[in-house]
Structure 1
Amino acid sequence: MKKSKYSLLLVLTLVFSLILAACSGGNEGADNSKEEENNAASDVPQEFKMLDSSEIPTMDTVLAEGSTSFTYIGNVGEGLYRLDKDGKPVPAMSDGEPKVNDDKTVFTFTLRDAKWSNGDPVTAQDFVFAWQRAIDPKTASPYGPYMMGGKIKGAAEITQAGADKKEYDLNTLGVKAIDDKTLEVTLEKPVVYWEDLFAFPTFYPQNQKFVEEKGEAFASNAENLLYNGPFKMTKWEGTDAQEWVLEKNPDYWDAENVKMEKITVNVVKDSGSAVNAFEAGETDMTGLLSSDLVPQYEGDERMMSWLDASVFWLKMNQKNEALANVNIRKAIAMAFNKEDLATSILSNGSVPANYMVPKEFVNLDGKDFREANGDMLVYNVEEAKKHWEAGLKELGKTELTIRYLGGDTEASKKIDAYMKNQLETNLEGLTVELESVPFAVRLERDNAMDYDLQMAGWGPDYGNAISFADLWVTNGGSNRMGYTNEKYDELIKKAQGELATKPKENFEALQEAERILLEEDAGIAPVYQRASNILINPNLKGLVEYQYGPDYSFKWMTMQGE
């Protein structure tokens, strides 16, 4: 839940209520064994209530770009693959593994017998329509170009034609319906993580007739959506909704393995209120733990905690003249105490990040990417001041005012206030104007590059370091801060191309790219790698968290008796 989005996990709270898993892949929480799942008492209602910290920005798979959207979409929809209980991609809408040509660029999928929630069959054309819609420049999908470009044949050319205001043909995209049950996908080049790719929500199908009939109303509320996944939304009144309901989808092909009948979600942004609701038995799960509450639940069986694969950083918009100066960026990146932020403000197990690619995410021959590439842009006030003075001199200024776009949740406000104080204290002449806005507004402002600084984060979309590195290529779909470096672009191009099937060389190219982004350019200012903490009813079993894609799955959940 990059995503994205910028398919970013834009910081809304200390811990998103929708969370990414630790790097073991999938993780069944609260001692969720298969035996326990199968022992759900027949007289125990299979339903639960949970709290979320933000509204759902969109339920359109093509327009989704944040972890909240991707997680709910991932529970009501399904692609060719889906992540299983261990976080591994397995065939879903695909009836078994595809046929693959010798050079691993053409995949032929046979679809299983599956239905939409209105009774229509899921067909190969549903995938063609959705993928073409995602790459169509007219749609302005924030994730389509990012997920497809350089991977699905023809995607990059369509995106470029749109940017150049030239004609393009969506039928040149490498996806074709041979018949209702046969889908052919052509890649630009071999992609080692193709299964992860086809499990991601951007690649889910859409019913063309339904979408076109609904027009602008499509995905505006629960009634204007179709579902082919484990659940369907029976209540959701749109992007401002403070409550929504998921119920078991009886038309789902694997419905016999879905035990949970109903999930009710309410939005609560205040951590104290969320915890009070949990303690009063009004909700069964909440991820809204403020830092001062985490120690109180240490050792409590109701709290689950882990270090996940999400990294947070300051984005510095180079449309701003001052932030286009590398010395100013380096000064900002080294002027705040990450250790203090992690221990005193977050205080939830999160750790300081002096990197882009997280710890314990990818490794080569047993050596972690992070261990091999070390730390960069470490907190150092003296060095920060030197860069600050040099930058001001180059700009011909003695002081600067920079806008900081912040979140509106309790936890976000604490983090943002801390950052403002640190930067103003350690960089003489800097004034930080802090503005706190809701999640949806932040996405809009990010898309429009209407900010100077903002705290943002990223959780990987597939199990490869390129999921982080690809964010910052020049004019990339997620690079909405004006960063550009030809050498960086070339390294990413090689990593995705000629080095894609050469693990050692690929690893080294991505490490060099990270050093360019951080050590040379300070393109972003890393802040912390997130730890996640949730409170969950001990009787609620089978929650599976993921390190990439949807934050977690409700498919295998059950409510046990006391």
Structure 2
Amino acid sequence: MNRRVMAVTAAAVMSMSGFAVPAMADEEEAVSIQISASIMSMDPLIGGDSTNVAVISNTMEGLFVVDADGQIQNGLCDSYEVSDDQKTYTFHIRDNAKWSDGTPVTAQDFEYAWKRNATAQGDYSKFTYQIEMAAIKNYEAVTSGEADADELGVTAVDDNTLQVELEYPVPFFLNLLTFSPWAPVKESKLTEEGDQFGVDKDSVLYCGAYTLDQWDVGGNTIVLKKNPDYWDAENVDVDEIDLVVISDTQQAVMAYQNGDVDNVTLTGDMVSMYQDDPEFSNVLGSFNYYLMVNTTKDGYDNKDLRQAIAYAIDRESLCTNVLNDGSTPAYNMVMKGLVSNADGEDFVDASGQYFQYDTEKAKELWAKAQEETDLREINIIYDEEKDFAANTAAFIQSQLESTLDGLTVNISSTPKKNRIQLAQDHDYDIELWAWGPDYADPTAILAMFESDHPSNYSLWSSDEFDKLYNEANTTLAGDETARWDNLIKCNDICTENAGCIPLFQTGSATLTKSNVTGITEHNTGVPCYYKFVEKD
């Protein structure tokens, strides 16, 4: 491979624009990737957005990873066995897996991390549902607090052997384990740091292909350095990954043209401007965007009002004329390409298609809503870091006010971190919200509509949904056809009730330098494992 040295002038140009790429040591090779917002925490139970998940997973490797082709590969798991009934997994941890303090990564580190997740409370519990989805033995009693963590079916048999018992077979179990909440955590480090665990780069230990070399809360550059003690270091091509926060697409493209970054995401007019460029790529993304409605608030609890909003939005026009980045309209909760049945039918195609643009239907429902509620003014908030979010919100504002006579729509932006906190506190009216699947199963999306799910920020609830969903994951877990049918019904129920209104599935339009390969956006879990990135 050819070694590259980053030019000093590149860092200078970036600095003048309000962001900076760190200077490189001689003979080191770096790849710089534009991101729209920085990370919030290095605690695997706190950092949940796509960038945060990527940074954690690349620095705290779990048992399995996903390669550039989307295939599951062994991470810190050297080998494993599965019982004939598919309910007991025995994982063998690599002998040469090390923490950044030089100590070995052990089975106890995984046992501790998983049991910590199962018993997490408050802000730390956003991923506890993963223990439920994995159906680890006694998960219900442990996650509800009725049983101690020691009752969870996870046991470190010895330093290098982890045994996991499941309540019933889970076909996507290994796929789950590629996600960041399943990363190991060294108990002594967490105890030492206490509530400061994960707040900065020195408060955690690393065992992945990279270590976190630079990260300041509120800063605009995250630097990952190749980990010399990583078990597979010889196959990690790039010495440094720089994640550079540039929220404005035009500035990002300028940085790309100047050679300051190797990969940028395009939106709006920039897509059509560069679609014929040989370094341009456009694929269907892994996130759906929604309007998340707080269904407990007066007026917003009215189904007719929510459905009126849903019918009044022209998703085709939004995707074609506003986003223009390969995004496609979404007419139910789950994204296309996530999972298909045995006959090859996509889950989205098998589900109902709701809220096709219909202004007459919207006006009819709005008239009914006005008889049932006094709400005439709604508030929508979106992330200030994303320029396409502002354009999307403005488009929705225009559509609703022009179709629903007498409705005032207020739109406002806030930092992403604040918006997420508002959702968690249920202190909002409507949010422009994105959700991506952690694993390849419809439950990766539908889970957030369970009545008691920690990510049910809309607080929408349905006994029928809960019953069907619970059956799909328990009594019907081994019946592929019946489970599929139940989950289709779940998708239809929560979509039709419009507690969360689907808008579009993202497109991923990017420019990537021709000498860089392996930067991916996987449709589930971790967007990209940087160990598979190469630069010639």
**The one of 37, 42, 47 aligned to 1:64:** 47
Q: How far has the Cα of 1:253 moved from its partner?
A: 0.7
1:286 corresponds to 2:264? yes
> Which residue in the other structure is 2:153 paired with?
174
* Aligned with 1:551 (options 500, 503, 527): 527
Output the CA distance in 2 between the equivalents of 1:137 and 1:204.
Answer: 15
Q: Is the 8 A contact 1:400 1:429 kept in 2?
A: yes
Q: CA offset at residue 385 of structure 1?
A: 1.2
CA distance in 2, matches of 1:489, 1:103: 27
Q: Distance in 1 between matches of 2:426 and 2:122?
A: 19
TM-score by length of 2: 0.91
Once superposed, what is the RMSD of the aligned Cα atoms? 1.7
**AA of the residue aligned to 1:101:** S
Structure-1 separation of matches of 2:367 and 2:141: 44
Deviations, residues 36-73 of structure 1 (Å, cap 9, x unaligned): xxxxxxx9742122221101111211212211110111
- Under a length normalisation based on structure 1, what TM-score does the superposition of the two structures give? 0.87
Give the secondary structure class of the aligned counterpart of 2:68: coil
Q: Which runs of 5+ in 1 are unaligned?
A: 1-42, 162-166
Partner of 1:187: 166
Q: 1:156 aligns with which of 124, 137, 140?
A: 140
Q: Aligned equivalents of 1:421 and 1:391: distance in 2?
A: 20
Aligned to 1:243: 221
How far did 1:184 drift? 1.6
* Closer, same or farther: CA 195–101 of 1 in aligned 2, 3 Å: same
Whether the aligned pair in 2 keeps the contact of 1:70 and 1:550 (CA below 8 Å) is yes
Offset from partner CA, 1:169-218 (integer Å, 9 cap, x none): 22122212122111121223221101111111111101111111122222
**Hey, what's the Cα distance between the residues in 1 that align with 2:291 and 2:298?**
17
Counterparts of 1:332-481 in structure 2, within 5 Å, are 332-364=309-341, 365-395=343-373, 397=374, 399-408=375-384, 409-481=386-458
Cα distance in structure 1, aligned partners of 2:494 and 2:38: 33
Equivalent residues of 1:62, 1:133 under 8 A apart: no
1:32 alignment counterpart: none
Letter aligned with residue 347 of structure 1: N
User: Is the counterpart of residue 537 in structure 1 residue 475 in structure 2?
Assistant: no
- Check 1:406–1:457 CA distance in 2 against 1; reply closer, same or farther (3 A cut): same
Distance 1:149 1:456, change over 3 A: same
Give the distance between the partners of 1:65 and 1:188, measured in 2 at CA.
26
Distance 1:407 1:542 in 2: 28
| C-alpha separation in 2, matches of 1:548 and 1:530 | 13
Contact 2:210 2:225 in 1 (8 A): yes
**For residue 253 of structure 1, what is the aligned residue in structure 2?**
231
Does 2:304 correspond to 1:327? Answer: yes
Change (3 A) 1:479 1:211: same
8 Å Cα contact 2:179-2:525 kept in structure 1 = yes
Residues 449 and 456 in structure 2, CA contact (< 8 A), matched pair in contact too: yes
Equivalent residue for 1:511, pick from 484, 488, 506: 488
Q: Deviation of residue 500 (structure 1)?
A: 2.0
**Partner secondary structure for residue 240 of structure 1:** coil
1:362 is displaced (CA, Å) by 1.6
- Output the CA distance in 1 between the equivalents of 2:368 and 2:122: 43
After the TM superposition, which residues 7-22 of structure 1 pair with which residues of structure 2 at under 5 Å, given as runs?
Answer: none
Pairing 1:107–2:89 present: yes
Letter of the structure 2 residue corresponding to residue 449 of structure 1? H
User: Using the alignment, how far apart are the partners of 2:274 and 2:125 within structure 1?
Assistant: 38
Distance in 1 between residues matched to 2:190 and 2:500, nearest whole Å: 38
Displacement of 1:345: 0.7
Q: Which residue of 2 aligns with 1:277?
A: 255
Residues in 2 aligned to 1:264 and 1:358: alpha-carbon distance in whole angstroms = 30
Q: Percent identity?
A: 33
Instruction: Name the structure, 1 or 2, with higher relative contact order (CA <8 Å, separation 6+).
Output: 1
For 1:536, give the aligned amino acid. Answer: T
- Asked whether the equivalents of residues 28 and 240 of structure 2 are also in contact (C-alpha less than 8 Å), the reply is no
- Give the one of 21, 42, 50 matched to 2:33: 50
Aligned to 1:131: 114
Counterparts of 2:68 and 2:321 in 1: how far apart (Å)? Answer: 34
1:89 Cα shift?
1.9
Residue aligning to 1:215? 194
* Cα shift readout 1:465-500 (whole Å, capped 9, x = no counterpart): 121122201121211111111111111112112222
C-alpha contact (below 8 Å) 2:458/2:500 kept by paired residues: no
- Matches of 2:167 and 2:290, distance apart in 1: 31
Q: Residues of 2 paired with 1:468 and 1:492: CA distance?
A: 12
User: Is 1:198 aligned with 2:177?
Assistant: yes
What displacement does 1:142 show?
4.0
Does residue 144 (structure 1) correspond to residue 122 (structure 2)? The answer is no
- Greater Cα offset, 332-341 or 303-312: 303-312
Structure 2 equivalent of residue 35 of structure 1: none
- Aligned residue runs from structure 1 range 298-317, under 5 A: 298-317=275-294
Give SS of 2:156's match.
strand
Aligned to 1:74: 57
Residues 157/241 of structure 1: CA separation in 2 closer, same or farther (3 Å cut): farther
2-structure distance, mates of 1:44, 1:374: 56
8 Å CA contact 1:284–1:537 kept in 2: the answer is yes
Task: Specify the alignment match of 1:490 in structure 2.
Answer: 467
**Pairwise CA distance, 1:144:** 2.5
Q: Is the 8 A contact 2:336 2:346 kept in 1?
A: yes
Deviation of residue 350 (structure 1)? 0.8
Structure-2 separation of matches of 1:146 and 1:435: 31
- The answer to whether the 8 Å contact 2:465/2:490 transfers is yes
Q: Which amino acid aligns with 1:76?
A: T
Q: CA deviation at 1:374?
A: 4.1
Match of 1:267 in 2: 245
Report the residue type matching 2:223 in the other structure: V
CA contact (8 A) 2:57 2:183 kept: no
Separation in 2 of the partners of 1:139 and 1:501? 33
Matches of 2:284 and 2:170 in 1, distance apart? Answer: 28
Q: Determine the C-alpha separation between the residues in 1 that align with 2:115 and 2:390.
A: 39
Other structure's SS at 2:269 match: coil
Task: After the TM superposition, list the runs of 4 or more consecutive aligned residues in structure 1 that deviate by more than 4 angstroms.
Answer: none
The answer to which of 101-110 and 407-416 deviates more is 101-110
Letter in 2 for 1:454: E
The secondary structure found in structure 2 opposite 1:512 is helix
Instruction: Decide which of 63, 79, 84 is 1:96's aligned counterpart.
Output: 79
In structure 1, the partner of 2:18 is none
Distance 1:350 1:57, change over 3 A: same
Return the alpha-carbon distance in structure 2 between the equivalents of residues 87 and 401 of structure 1.
45
Instruction: Extract unaligned runs of 5+ from structure 2.
Output: 1-25
